[in-house]
Amino acid sequence: MRPGRAERVRKPGRARTRGQATTAALRARRERRRLLTAMLAALLMVLGLTSATAWGQGPDQATKRAAGPDTTAEQVLTWTANDDMTKYASAPTTAVAGKATIVFENSTATGNTSGMSHTLTFDTSNPDYNQDVDLNILASPVDSKGGKHTAEVTLTPGTYRYHCTIPGHLAMQGTLVVTGEPPGDDTTAPETSATVEGEKDSDGNYLGSATVTVTASDAESGVEKIEYALGDGAFQTYTAPVTVKDPGDHTLRYRASDKAGNTAAEKSVTFTVVEPPDEDTTPPAVQGKAEGKKNSDGHFVGKATVTVTATDDKSGVEKTEFSLDGGPYLAYTDPVVIDRPGHHSVTYRATDKAGNTSEPAELSFRVVAGGGVPSPDCPEYDERLTVIVGTIDSGVPNRMTQRRCTINELIEDEKEWTSQALFLKHVRGVTGQLVTDGVLVAREQKLINQAARKSGIGTPGQETGYRDLFDGSEESFAKWEHVGGGAFGLNGDGSMTSSPKVEGMGMLWYPQRKYADFSLKLQFRDDAPGGGNANGGVFARFPDVHDHPEESRPEWVAIKYGHELQINDRPDGDMYKTGSVYGFDRVGLAGAGVTPKGTWNDYEIRVIGQHYQIYRNGVLLNEFENNGGQLFNPPRDDDPGTDGRRYASGYVGLQVHSTSDVISYRDVRIKEL
C-alpha cells in the first residue's frame, strides 16, 4: 500500500449464531413476561396498592404504554424540568433493557415560567457508567416543540448517568439503573472504521506524528469494547486516539465487540511517519556592496552601483528590499545605480519564506560629478511613493523610468504652465511614452491623466510655478538667517540638519521677502538620536523678527505673531502632533500620517487669506480658519491669540527645538497663489 492511503476492508457477511427457532422462542418468552407484568400492575391498581406507573420506571413520571401493537419502544421514560437549576423536576430511576422512548419536557406545563433552557444529556465519557446511548436533548418552553421532545434508544443492563450541560445547571444530574437481559437476537458484530490524521508532506507521509482514531457502532446490543494493536503487537483496549511518533512504516489493527458477544473482523490501516523538517527561525544572510570608479578621496566618480545578495539555506529567500536615502523600502531585483552627486545611504534587508527578516544593514558613500555616465537630467526632484499631480494622488506607484527619473519628476507639476491645455498635453505625452516603455499600463496612464485634469494646474490663478528657497547649494543656504538658540548645518547631500551640540531653541528664517497667499513645499526627516522623535515645525506669516515693538527675542516674534505648523511624531509628550496649528488646532497621532523614523516626508503649507491647509505626503492632515478671538492653548500670559496673528503677508521659517530634536530639511520651495 502506498504511504498515506487508507485501506478499505470489506466487512465479512453477517452469520447468525442462533437458529430461527431459538430466536422465536426468546421473543415469545419476552412477550409473555411483558403481558404478565402489565396484568400484575393492573391488579395492584384495582386493589389500590400502587399508582399507574410503568414497571422499572420512576414512581412519578415514567408511564408504561398501554398494551397493543409494539410499533416503537417497549417503555416510555419521562424527565421533566422547571425553573430549578439544581435538579430535574422528575426523572425515572430504573428501566429494563431493550428499546425505550425517552421523553424530556421543559415547558410551562412542567413549571418553567422563566423560559429557561435545560438539556437532558447521557454521559458517554465516564467509564464507570454505560456509554452506548448518545443522547443530548435541548428543550425550552419557547422552542418549536413547546419544550417537549422525544427520542428512541436501546438500553442495556447497567447504570446510565445523565445531567444538564448548561453552565450553572451542572447540579442537575442523576442515574438510571437498567435491569434485565439484553435483547437475545443480536447476532451482528459492530461496524468499525479508522481514520489517520496529521500534517503530511507532498508524498503523503506524516510529519513528526500520526494520530489514529477508531470508531465502532452497534445498533442492537451496543458496543462493549474496542481494541487495537500496533504492528504484530498484542491487542489492547482502545480508550482514546492513538498517536504514533516513531519514524517508519506502521500498521494499526483494530476490532470491536458488542454486548451480545459478537466480535467484528479485524481491520487495519497503514501509514508512514517521517522526521519533520527543522523549523526555520534564522533570517537570510544578506550582503551589500557599492562599486564604481573612485577618486583619491575615496568618493565614487559619476555613479555608484549597489549590489545586494541574500541567501537562506532552509526555507529560501522570499524577497530582498532596499531603501535609498531614508525613503520607503522597495523591491530589489537588479543592481541599483546611484548617480546624483552628494552623500547617499542604501539600507537593505531580506525576508525568507518562513517570515524571518534580517536586521537592516547600510552602505554609506558619496558620489561626485565627473566622468562616467552623466547624472540624469530630471526637471524636478520628487521621490514620493505614488504619483501626485498638484495635490491629487493618482495612487499609481512612483516608479523609476528609463531616463533614471521618477514619474513624478517627469510630470513637472511645479513648473510654470500658462494654460491647462498645455499641461495636459505634456502629461499625456509623458504617460504615453511610459506605456510604450513598459513603465505604465493603460489603466495607470488613465489614472495619472485624470489626476492632471483634476489638479487645475495651468488654469487661471495656478500658472506660477514653484521657486526654490533652498536647493541644497551653499548659495541658497546663505540666503537664510538663523536667530535664537540651536543651529543648522549644510550637508553634502543637499540637505540641512539641526545641530545635536548647539543648545537652545531657535529658527532659520528666509528674510529675502514676504509672501501673501502661497504654497510652501519641503521635505523633512526625523533624525532624533536613539529611540526619541524630533519636535520641529514650519513658521508662516510672521512679521520682521528684528526691532519688534512687543518682543525683543527674534525667534519669539515668529512664535507669538506667526503660526507654527507642527512636526512631531512622538507618541507621548506634547499633544500637538504633525499637522497641528500649534496652540490653536490640534491633530492627534492617529491623524498625523506617521511614517517610520528616518523617512523623508513631503510637507506642504497652503495659506490663502486666513485659511490654512497642511498636507503630508499628499494627504490633507488639517484645515484651520485663522478667525479672530481664538486663544492660545495652553494659555500664555503674553500671547496675543489669533488677533495678533492675522497678517495678510509675512515671512517663513524653520524651527530648531533642542539638541535632542535633530531634524533635517531639504528641497524648500514656494509658489505664490
* Cβ atoms < 10 Å from Cβ of 40: 12
Kindly list the strands in the beta sheet with 98-105, ordered across the sheet, starting from the edge strand earlier in the chain: 76-80, 98-105, 148-155
The whole-number pLDDT of residue 462 equals 64
Select from 108, 69, 67, 66 the least CA-distant residue to 89: 108
* More confident: 584 or 671: 584
**Nearest 5°: phi and psi at 257?**
-125, 150
d(CA 241, CA 269): 14
SS3 annotation, 51-99: CCCCCCCCCCCCCCCCCCCCCCCCCEEEEECCCCCCCCCECCCEEECEE
**Nearest 5°: phi and psi at 33?**
-65, -40
pLDDT of 442-483, one tens digit each? 999 999 999 999 988 888 766 556 888 998 999 899 999 999
Q: Considering only 41-55, 76-90, 106-120, 566-580, which range has the smallest mean pLDDT? A: 41-55
Band (181; pLDDT cuts 50, 70, 90): low
- 66: pLDDT strictly greater than 70: no
Q: Can you read off the three cell numbers belonging to residue 578?
A: 504633525
Q: Can you read off the three cell numbers belonging to residue 459?
A: 488654469
For range 15-21, the mean pLDDT = 41
The whole-number pLDDT of residue 391 equals 76
Give bridge partners of residue 319 from the DSSP assignment. 351
- 12: pLDDT strictly greater than 60: no
Q: DSSP code of 517?
A: S
Three-state secondary-structure class, residue 315 = coil
Q: Can you read off the three cell numbers belonging to residue 540?
A: 508662516
- 118: pLDDT strictly greater than 60: yes
Strands 223-230 and 248-258: antiparallel
d(CA 122, CA 104): 12
- 242: pLDDT strictly greater than 80: yes
Which residues have CB under 8 Å from 268's CB, separation 6+?
7, 9, 251, 252, 253, 254
The whole-number pLDDT of residue 370 equals 64
- 39: pLDDT strictly greater than 50: no
Question: Largest alpha-carbon pair distance within the chain?
Answer: 127
Q: How far apart are the first and last CA of the chain?
A: 82
Residue 580: what residue type? S
CB 178 within 8 A of CB 159: yes
Q: Can you read off the three cell numbers belonging to residue 209?
A: 506524528
pLDDT of 308-341, one tens digit each? 999 999 889 999 999 988 777 899 999 999 987 7
pLDDT of 511-564, one tens digit each? 988 999 999 999 999 999 988 999 999 999 999 999 899 999 999 999 999 999
Give bridge partners of residue 162 from the DSSP assignment. 122, 174
For range 215-223, the mean pLDDT = 91
All structural domains of the chain, each given as residue ranges with its CATH number in brackets, are 53-179 (2.60.40.420), 191-274 (2.60.40.10), 285-368 (2.60.40.10), 386-455 (no CATH), 467-672 (2.60.120.560)
- 418: pLDDT strictly greater than 50: yes
Band (624; pLDDT cuts 50, 70, 90): very high
* Cβ atoms < 10 Å from Cβ of 627: 11
Band (302; pLDDT cuts 50, 70, 90): confident
CB 470 within 8 A of CB 476: yes
d(CA 476, CA 668): 10
pLDDT of 574-583, one tens digit each? 999 999 999 9
Average pLDDT, the chain: 86
The whole-number pLDDT of residue 1 equals 42
* More confident: 662 or 47: 662
> Cis omega before residue 634 (within 30°)?
yes
* More confident: 344 or 627: 627
CB 487 within 8 A of CB 654: no
The whole-number pLDDT of residue 23 equals 41
* Cβ atoms < 10 Å from Cβ of 548: 16
Band (374; pLDDT cuts 50, 70, 90): low
Q: DSSP code of 501?
A: S
- 590: pLDDT strictly greater than 60: yes
**Nearest 5°: phi and psi at 408?**
-55, -40
pLDDT of 496-508, one tens digit each? 999 999 999 999 9
Q: What is the pTM of this model?
A: 0.42
The whole-number pLDDT of residue 279 equals 83
pLDDT of 80-116, one tens digit each? 999 999 999 999 999 998 899 999 999 999 999 999 9
Band (47; pLDDT cuts 50, 70, 90): very low
Select from 81, 71, 74 the least CA-distant residue to 54: 74
The whole-number pLDDT of residue 58 equals 36
* More confident: 383 or 573: 573
* Cβ atoms < 10 Å from Cβ of 8: 6
Select from 47, 44, 63 the least CA-distant residue to 55: 63
- 172: pLDDT strictly greater than 90: yes
The whole-number pLDDT of residue 464 equals 56
The whole-number pLDDT of residue 125 equals 92
Band (265; pLDDT cuts 50, 70, 90): very high
